[in-house]
Chain A
């Protein structure tokens, strides 16, 4: 007989974005958006590729992992000590990831540049001088493999490729693995796409729609555990996922979908909007606004660090939990994170912030 599901706690985060590498930095002075190198009239929040932290990864890896992967490894490495401190067997540690695209098209621009330099040689020669396991040849799972090896994660594994909603997919898969006793802890990693010309082709709908689209580069990782921390506890209390087809926009189907997502997220603990201590969402989104009614909404980290795609949710969790408002608690506080990607995925997550137990 299967064991009953158990609670899952968020233990520690690691971030990297234009504001810095800590959750507290997201509450500091906002960085200024910069003109993008390949399109000076467009603004965004690019990052220099980070150096790999010493100790966890072979520095030589930096030559074969592109910038997005390096950001991911940078965050994962900084959770290594906390993971080690749990003292778990590698087989009990899950690894899940939300990675937009490690491979083409992003690093494909290198190939374009190479072909421009040597148009007669085409790809064969270019590849002849490209080491095996170069970023262009890698899959999402390749970057996950680097993390798995360095942090000894041999439990359940799942990789998601998508936009903002992939972050919740990865978090939910990790939560299920721990809640269903298939793992005792989980590392969840997520990254934004690289800022390349390809991004503006893929996000053309936003450009055409006149939206001030300011993408950012970043990564975020969280360590989850079945073991409650001694101090303030952050428990995953519910989540919901849905998809609003473009054809259903402003129609009743879109509202039905959103209502269902909210019910899924709030239902497990029988919560209503009035029970929430804070809601983090997109204040300008009319559809989300319909679901939230008059509930005050916090805007999340996006205005400060740009649209981070698959790493936006995990970044927002860290941003909210670092808020001074929640540093001391007298009773359980519930936070709702509600997001809709421009392509229609809706994601809702409820966290329960519980006061630490006194001795």
Chain B
């Protein structure tokens, strides 16, 4: 018998937003978090648009985490800041986790050095191009060096801070990592392995290395448009995604556990699936069949039918291939249901924060469920839509909904979806 899993806390940091309420309000009001990135401008990039955490946000995060050592990596500091908010929302303090059957599930993909990190290493390469490790170790304190940081550093940091003793995992599933982390926590609680979990993802990849990476694949938008107009999911003239970054963490717990401690439910996790695609590295099956299989498996896991889904938070990256495949999958799975079904694409407002995207979108979906307010897809115009049968909103709309299907489809073919429900 599987246990019911509730969401009792969440928080996030996203471009131009230090908390979930601010981001939700910004998107509801049609305000984009995408701007010209100062570092991209300094490097002379043709396209400088990004959804990045700016200096003012970092100053706030540093002030709120001033108790941490100065060498704490930014990813861990951001994780700490968001965790504080999520736990407070759940009526918990970090030490509470020490005495609970608890887990920590974080999505993260790359440490992601930037060119300044590389440049700092150049003097340690000798005249015959061999790397001089001792010279590097002599010049820097190893633990503070960027190369000393691990992909799982923020997991380690939070586990230590919270005293999580039961299960900690770092999920490296590309753009699906945040969703997979939430889904894994959901499964562990549903099975009874743990009672409570902190889950989600942290991603700081709005810098030059990922820019080069994704640009070399032709995935980034290169349209000559203002930054806030470049992410245009599901429009005919979409031209790629805009890099983003951020973090979101959720507190999940079994209903029994939440009720025992008198915690208020903010929502429910009803189903999850993560499937391998085995298609091409950079694109899904053109007919949307693989995305369809993932969504269908998730509905099966949630024991519901397409008729039970009220709203879809799409992966919606604004690339030609992704949006086309996702649209075809939705059109097939929800055939006959499309008139009542609404959809949104949060990346239109904040860009693609890769591992963090699924966790941020899960939080926004839970807020839509609890507030009864559906978020618009920025830049969306029905007359420019490639798939007019899909009802994306160009302005926020009030509607009581009970379920959201939230999709995350990762580079390399990790497809994942969650079904979230109202409390």
Contacts and interface: CB of A to CB of B under 8 A. Distances in A.
Contacts of A123: 115, 118, 208-209, 212
A324 B276 CA distance: 37
Contact of A197 (B136, B159, B280): B136
B275 A245 contact: no
B216 A243 contact: no
Given A109-B131, A159-B414, A162-B155, A243 B125 contact: no
Contact of B276 (A2, A109, A155): A155
Contact of B167 (A145, A242, A256): A242
Contacts of A104: 110-113, 209
Contact of B293 (A91, A139, A153): A91
Contact of A139 (B124, B129, B191, B411): B411
Contact of B217 (A111, A117, A132): A132
A132 B216 contact: yes
Interface stretch (B79-87, B145-153, B393-401): B145-153
A47 interface: no
A20 to B, nearest CB: 29
Interface string A85-127: 0000011001100011101110011011101110100111001
A141 B174 contact: yes
Contacts of A105: 111, 113, 146-147
B119 interface: yes
A122 B160 contact: no
B309 to A, nearest CB: 21
A160 B293 CA distance: 23
B187 interface: yes
A207 B148 CA distance: 13
A260 B110 contact: no
A242 B212 CA distance: 38
Interface string A133-177: 110110111101110110011111111111101100100010010
Contacts of B191: 176
A230 interface: no
A149 B136 contact: no
A154 B129 contact: no
A204 interface: yes
Interface string B119-155: 1011011000111011011000011011111111001
Interface string B196-218: 00000000000011001100111
A127 B166 contact: no
Contacts of A144: 276, 412-414
A158 B98 contact: no
A201 interface: yes
Given A112-B118, A132-B216, A145 B155 contact: no
A106 B289 CA distance: 36
Contact of B412 (A141, A200, A241): A141
B133 A200 contact: yes
Contact of B174 (A127, A132, A139, A154): A139
Contact of A159 (B124, B143, B172): B172
A148 B125 contact: no
A244 interface: yes
Given A95-B276, A153-B278, A242 B166 contact: yes
B410 interface: yes
Contacts of A159: 171-173, 414
B109 interface: yes
A212 B401 CA distance: 59
A250 B104 CA distance: 23
B118 A243 contact: no
A328 interface: no
A36 to B, nearest CB: 9
A257 interface: yes
Given A101-B150, A137-B217, A149-B278, A157 B414 contact: yes
A140 B109 contact: yes
B209 A204 contact: no
Nearest to B174: A141
B109 A139 contact: yes
Contact of B410 (A141, A198, A204, A248): A141
Contact of A155 (B104, B110, B159, B275): B275
A112 B119 CA distance: 7
A7 B167 CA distance: 23
Listed residue (A37, A91, A104, A160) with the most chain B CB atoms within 10 angstroms of its CB: A104
Contacts of A162: 152, 155, 169-170
Nearest to B155: A162
A39 interface: yes
A327 interface: no
B351 to A, nearest CB: 18
Nearest to B150: A202
A156 B273 CA distance: 7
A115 B118 CA distance: 8
Contacts of A94: 276
Contacts of A176: 187, 191
Interface in A180-200: 182, 197-198, 200
Given A103-B109, A137-B216, A243-B165, 19 more contacts: A38-B133, A94-B276, A116-B122, A123-B212, A140-B173, A154-B275, A160-B172, A176-B191, A198-B147, A201-B147, A202-B148, A202-B150, A243-B159, A243-B166, A243-B167, A243-B168, A248-B163, A248-B165, A343-B156
28 contacts: A39-B133, A101-B111, A101-B150, A103-B109, A105-B147, A112-B131, A119-B122, A123-B115, A123-B118, A130-B216, A132-B216, A132-B218, A144-B413, A149-B279, A154-B278, A154-B290, A156-B276, A160-B171, A161-B109, A169-B169, A200-B142, A201-B137, A201-B145, A204-B148, A241-B167, A243-B167, A246-B160, A257-B166
- Shortest Cβ-Cβ A-B pairs, 3 listed: A145-B412, A204-B142, A141-B412
